[in-house]
Amino acid sequence: MNVRLRYAPSPTGHLHIGGARTALFNYLFAKHAGGTFILRIEDTDIERNVDRAAEEFAANLRWLGISWDEGAFVGGDYGPYVCTKRLDIYKEYVEKLLAQGLAYRCYCSAEELQQERETQLQTGSMVQYSGSCSHLTEEQRRAFEDEGRTPVIRFRVPSHTVSFNDMIRGTLSFESSSVGGDFVIVKSNGIPAYNFACTVDDHLMQISHVIRGEEHISNTPRQLYIYEAFGWEPPIFGHVSLILGEDGKKLSKRDESIVQFIEQYREMGYLPDALFNFLALLGWSPGGKEEILTKQQLIESFEFDRVSKSGAFFDSVRLAWMNGHYLKEMSAEDLSVLVEPYIRSYVEGKEWFTKEWLIEFTSLFKDKITCLSEIPAIGLMFLVDQVAPDEEAKSSLSLPHVADLLQVFIEQARVVDEWTPDGMKALVKAVQTASNVKGKDLFMPLRAAITGQLHGPDLNRSLVLLGKERVIKRAQTTLAQFIHIE
């Protein structure tokens, strides 16, 4: 069997972490089996379609490291890969169903159906379409048409039970009565509804495995009936558990406790490999003890027997840890390229800003952060000309020996030729000798005076990065503004 999987988002919004994970599982399985991964755009809800959304999906998928062999934007032998460009195809299959009496036109209005549902809900009975239009005579039909009603087309649901073997959950079976009656396959605007388009497309595109979210379990029996009506072999289904929000419920796009869109992670400076790794491990486990895995390793070990049946809470703290890990593993040089946009507004036009400076700056902070957008805040002391000491730093500067210490430091700094790590070591040593201050009493006030904080990267490297001019200037400013000599 040719292994062919597809991810079929509807272009109604941004790429969501849940959607990305579904795409990822499809991708991993396809690649693992040496098969084909396909991107299809399910745009049958023309009201909700968002301009450029499909392009955005594609861009974010690519950024994440998920590429498709066939489908929208890349083409292939089973196209078109966009539903609204396949209308003629659907029409042909609807006609077949209509001709065989397997589908029929329904003239019930939205209001009438709504009414029906409410009554059913009140009486506690099952909510389902009554089938009132299922056996209309030609006359009745004409009468409805004359009233100006535009029909939908409904699929006549057979009365037998359907079942299928889910890759993740085993055998699932459904009574015919539980699918809610004859369902709509073509909407009154002439466009097919999801269950129909999806089934026709999956069959025509020869999809072998359908991996999708658990919320689609209840759609599966409907689709199975359609496969059956056409005499088609259904694909193998696998329903992945949901990603849960803090409240333990399916992540709602309106839930603000969790950052939900891939685009946002990208903007925050998460690395695609980290997100890829994290998402792959959300609801699946390779079994071993290793958690940091490359795309290649993930592809090699991906199997459905370890896909979890229960929902998984999206733990952003864990994602932050993982991203931090990937950040540490990157070289400062490579990472500096990604860091630059985050500090551009500070460093633009500064004479001290060079490629070497950027790399050193990156190397000073890359082990301390969780994502790149934290960089400007944590590295601010190096990005601005002047710094004011924070409360902790002020108290360190208030020690009685600090005025003399800074005087000595400035004098010694002025005569340093080699503004290098070794030079800084020598400088601090010289200050120690000349001032007769050592240890914390020496380092802390210096750090406070130069960086405005008591915490930060290695002092010598910090001095080098700031450069002679800024260091002396800051020491002078601190001396003048924040040291009060009694």
Partner RNA sequence: GGCCCCAUGGUCAAGCGGUUAAGACACCGCCCUUUCACGGCGGGAACAGGGGUUCGAGUCCCCUUGGGGUCACCA
Residue 295 CB, shortest distance to RNA, in Å, is 18
Three-state secondary structure string covering 159-203: CCCEEEEECCCEEEEECHHHHCCCEEEECCCCCECHHHHHHHHHH
Which pair of structure tokens corresponds to residue 94? 């609807």
Q: Residue 227's CB: how many other CB atoms inside 10 A?
A: 18
Instruction: Look up 355 and say whether it is catalytic.
Output: no
What token pair was written down for 350? Answer: 């500064």
Q: Say if CB 293 and CB 280 are below 8 A apart.
A: yes
Radius of gyration, CA atoms only, the chain: 32
- Residue number with CB closer to RNA (109 or 294): 109
Least separation in angstroms between CB 192 and RNA? 7
**Smallest gap from residue 80 Cβ to RNA (A):** 15
Q: Which two tokens stand for residue 474?
A: 């800051």
Closer Cβ to RNA, 21 or 348, answer by number: 21
Q: Can you tell me whether residue 467 is helix, strand or coil?
A: helix
Amino acid at position 129, single letter: Y
Give the shortest CB-444-to-RNA separation in angstroms.
Answer: 6
Q: Cβ 63 to RNA, closest distance in Å? A: 21
Residue (54 or 354) nearer to RNA, CB: 54
Least Å from the CB of residue 398 to RNA: 17
Residue pair 445/372 in contact (Cβ under 8 Å)? The answer is no
Q: Which C-beta is closer to RNA: that of 114 or that of 354?
A: 114
Shortest reach from residue 482's CB to RNA, in Å: 19
Measured from the CB atom, is 2 or 163 closer to RNA?
A: 163
DSSP, collapsed to helix, strand or coil, labels residue 244 as strand
Q: Which two tokens stand for residue 450?
A: 């130069």
Beta-strand (E) ranges in 187-341?
209-213, 236-240, 243-244, 312-313
What's the CA gap between 217 and 202, in Å, rounded?
Answer: 16
Specify the residue, 124 or 349, whose C-beta has the smaller distance to RNA. 124
Yes or no: say if 129 and 181 are a contact pair by the CB < 8 Å rule: yes
Task: Return d(Cα 256, Cα 82) in angstroms, integer.
Answer: 31
Which residue from 106, 114, 194, 117 is spatially nearest to 150, judged by alpha carbons? 106
108 versus 271: smaller Cβ distance to RNA: 108
Q: How many CB atoms lie within 10 A of CB 273?
A: 19
Distance of CA 456 to the CA centre of its chain: 32
Catalytic residue (choose from 253, 350, 355, 438): 253
Nearer CB in complex with RNA: 2/303: 303
Name every residue whose Cβ is closer than 8 Å to that of residue 480 and which is 6 or more positions away in sequence.
Answer: none
Question: Nearer to RNA by C-beta: 27 or 174?
Answer: 174
Say which amino acid occupies 14.
H
Q: How far apart are CA 25 and CA 281, in angstroms?
A: 10
Distance between CA atoms of 20 and 25, rounded to whole angstroms? Answer: 9
Give, as one character, the DSSP assignment of residue 177. G
Direct distance between the N- and C-terminal alpha carbons of the chain, in angstroms, rounded to an integer: 88
CB of 336 to RNA, least distance (A): 18
The structure tokens listed for 278 are: 């994290």
From CA 170, how far away is CA 392, in angstroms rounded?
61
Q: Which residues are catalytic?
A: 253
